[in-house]
Every structure is written in C-alpha cells, then in structure tokens.
Amino acid sequence: MKRLTLVSISFFAIVFLCSYSLIIAPPTYKIAVLKYNGGGDWYANLETSLPNLIKFCNDNLKTNINPEQGIVEAGSSDIYNYPFVHMTGHGNVVFNYEESQNLRNYLIAGGFLHVSDNYGMDKFIRTELKKVFPESELVELPFNHPIYHQKYDFANGLPKIHEHDNNAPKGYGIIYKGRLVVFYDFECDLGDGWENPEIHKDSDEARQKALKMGANLISYAFGSAGKK
C-alpha cells in the first residue's frame, strides 16, 4: 500500500505537469504504446503512428511531449511514467491477474488508456477490459461528449478512417467514478490514420481528421486526469 501511494503521488505530479504544459512548457515527458501478451501484434503501427501524433500535438496544441515514444508492458510499474498509453493490434489480447490489477490501479490513479482496433481486436479486448473493470461496461459515448469537442470539433463523433466492415465508427468508453479512463475506437482505426501517408495511402484529409481526433484524446486525457 505504501509503495502504491508513493507511485500514485509521483504519477499525479506528472499529470499536473502535463496539464500545465498547455500553458507553459514543463520538462519533457513521454506517452507510450502498450505491450501486451496473447500473440496479438501490439507493435502494429509502431514506427510512425504515435510519433506523428506527438509531433502534431506539439505543433498544434503546444504540448511538450518527448518525440520518442515509450513502450511499456501491461504489468510494469513503469506505466506510471506515462499519463497517456496507446494500445492497438489486430488479434488476441490477454491480461493476466497482475496485469489487470496494474492497469486498473494506473487508470484509477489518473492514467488514460486509448485502445484503437486495428481490425480483429474487438472480440478480445472487450473480454480483457472486463478483467480490468469487472464492475463497469464499455459504453458508447454520445456525440456531445467533451472528448469530441476539445480544440477540434467532431459534431458527429469519430471520423471514418478505414472501412473495415463498412460500418459507422463508434467511440466507446469506460467511466470510473465519473471520469473517462478508457477510450476505445472501433470501426475507425485512428492509429492507422496517424501513420505516414505512404503506408496506407490515406488522403491528407483523412489523416488530418485522424490526427485532430488524436489531439483531442491527448488534450482530454491531460485536462481531465485526476478529475471527476
């Protein structure tokens, strides 16, 4: 308990600096990709996706995020070094008990998890998130939720980046004590939209929409961390 308290205090200090950076640049901090077990490709989009989002946020939100992304394992205490963690992939995801508890403690302490279904993750991630918050459901967020209305306005919710099954994109969340702690984009593929244009041949318009929505996620996570 003492160890968790000390880690939580340190984490809240990082969260404060991240929020403060929207006005005055703090010492550089990092955001990270989540490495998980189960055989799924957690490393999908690893080369350019999050680095491009970081650059976009630093240029347009005036954040001071370290341009080098972190990589953190689901069960590692190092996760407290990152106020925002991004998770993606196409296949299986498995959180064991220790990993589930670590993610839960991180999110309760003020962290934020963004899950982007790269196509094929949905049936796995829903089960594993239930291990993290067994008392909570993934709920579809209404279009008037603040996450869609940060610096960039998305009146109709998530933009459609990749077709997948040709269904409308949906944004789901887990809310803990009034605070959104997990955001899950489905039938959208924001992470792919952040990658270099030559990788998926996405239009500049689609990439800009993806980056702007990603910037909203960063802005929301930094601004709402620790708040109800």
Cα–Cα distance measured from residue 142 to residue 145, given in angstroms and rounded to the nearest whole number: 6
pLDDT for residue 97 is more than 80: yes
Pairwise CA distance, residues 70 & 33, whole Å: 6
Class of the domain covering 2-224: alpha beta
Q: What is the pLDDT of residue 164?
A: 72
What is the predicted pLDDT for the residue at 189?
Answer: 87
Q: Give the pLDDT of residue 224.
A: 61
User: Among all chains, which residue has been given the structure tokens 């601004």?
Assistant: 223
Q: Is the pLDDT of residue 225 over 50?
A: no
- Asked whether residue 138 carries a pLDDT value surpassing 90, the answer given is yes
What's the whole-number average pLDDT of the chain? 88
Q: Is the pLDDT of residue 186 over 50?
A: yes
Q: What would the two tokens of residue 25 be?
A: 């640049």
pLDDT band, very low/low/confident/very high, at 34 (cuts 50, 70, 90): very high
Q: Which of 174, 57, 170 is nearest to 107 (CA)?
A: 174
For residue 26, the one-letter residue type is P
CA–CA dist 77, 58 (Å, integer) = 26
Give the model confidence (pLDDT) of 1-11 as tens digits.
444 454 454 45
Where are the domains positioned within the chain?
Answer: 2-224
C-beta atoms surrounding 23 within 10 Å: 8
Mean pLDDT of 63-70: 95
Average pLDDT over residues 134-149: 97
CA-CA distance, 199 to 217, in Å (whole number)? 23
Q: Residue 81 has what pLDDT?
A: 96
Query: For 100-106, what is the mean pLDDT?
Result: 98
Q: What is the mean pLDDT of residues 134-156?
A: 97
Q: What is the model's pLDDT at position 2? A: 45
CB crowding 163-200: b at 16 or more within 10 Å, else e: ebeeeebebbbbbbeebbbbbbbbbbbbbbbbbeeeeb
What is the predicted pLDDT for the residue at 15?
Answer: 52
